[in-house]
Amino acid sequence: MQLKLNMTRILALTLVALLSIQLSAQDKTSTEEQDVTKTLSAFIQAFDNLDWERFRAAFADDATVFYPRAVPNRADGRAEFERTFRQVFEQIRAGRTTGPYMDIQPRALKIQIAGDVAIVTFHLDDRPGFVNRRTIILKKFSAGWKIIHLHASEVAIP
């Protein structure tokens, strides 16, 4: 009888420990997802407003970028992606001096967290006749989440 009671206690304590671990992991994922969402939101706001310093600060120095059109090659590292994004900023600005210059509205947003990496995917409805797809991969550094890769592509709607 005593052995059965001890086994029941051990089983109960094990279940409580497992539930605590699972809840702790869920809280951590939830917090990380919230941090990624805040980072993404700040990045989009900086892009909408063409705020160069905040925009460029969202990227890691060794980030890579695939652009959706007109630039066939991957940009490798800060010097390359900043050179192209400066041109993109000027095209979007088109001589205007006050923002916001865009209203980026991610659709079907999905965030996947795998350790210190987050994969964010979404669609944009910014060009009639096309589905614009975005993948942003972020890595958690001591200073917070930074973009390490941005992939932009589009597909014509049949």
Q: What is the CATH number of the domain that holds 85?
A: 3.10.450.50
Q: What is the mean pLDDT of each run of 10 residues along the chain (158 residues)?
A: 55 44 52 95 97 97 93 94 95 92 95 96 89 96 96 91
Nearest Cα to 147, choosing from 128, 133, 134? Answer: 134
Residue 104: per-residue pLDDT: 94
Residue 126: per-residue pLDDT: 79
Whole-angstrom Cα distance, residue 43 to residue 54? 7
Residue 22: per-residue pLDDT: 47
Domain count, the chain: 1
Whole-angstrom Cα distance, residue 94 to residue 105? 21
Residue 128: per-residue pLDDT: 86
Residue 9: per-residue pLDDT: 58
State the pTM of this model.
0.80
Residue 19: per-residue pLDDT: 41
Whole-angstrom Cα distance, residue 100 to residue 47? 9
Task: Tell me which residue range forms the domain holding 134.
Answer: 2-156
Whether residue 93 contacts residue 86, with contact meaning beta carbons closer than 8 Å, is answered with no
CB atoms inside a 10 Å sphere around CB 145: 24
